[in-house]
Amino acid sequence: MTTLDTPARRVRRVAGIDLAGTEWPLYKLEAVVVGFLVLLALFVITGSGQIAVLSAATAATVTWWVRLAYYRRT
């Protein structure tokens, strides 16, 4: 009987921080912090919750993907 053995992929570990017993990758925490800061700043500046929430979600998503690509590359 023959089997097909797929080559093992090397998985790079991303730096993480232990938070409440769970290791969070650093890029996720950075995205959450950036999103919160954008939310807070835009809500104070514009006074509009809609603009603040949508902009914060966009900033967090972009930060998440860019930092993930950066950490996987290095």
pLDDT digits (tens, 9 = 90+) for 42-55: 999 999 999 999 99
- Three-state secondary-structure class, residue 14: coil
* pTM as predicted: 0.74
pLDDT at 3 (0 to 100): 72
Question: Is residue 58 domain-resident?
Answer: yes
Q: How many domains does the chain have?
A: 1
Question: Is residue 36 domain-resident?
Answer: yes
Question: Is residue 34 domain-resident?
Answer: yes
Confidence of residue 15 (pLDDT cuts 50, 70, 90): confident
Structure token pair of residue 73: 């590359």
Question: Is residue 61 domain-resident?
Answer: yes
DSSP 44: H
Question: Is residue 65 domain-resident?
Answer: yes
Question: Is residue 54 domain-resident?
Answer: yes
d(CA 63, CA 30): 7
Q: Give the domain range for residue 34.
A: 24-73
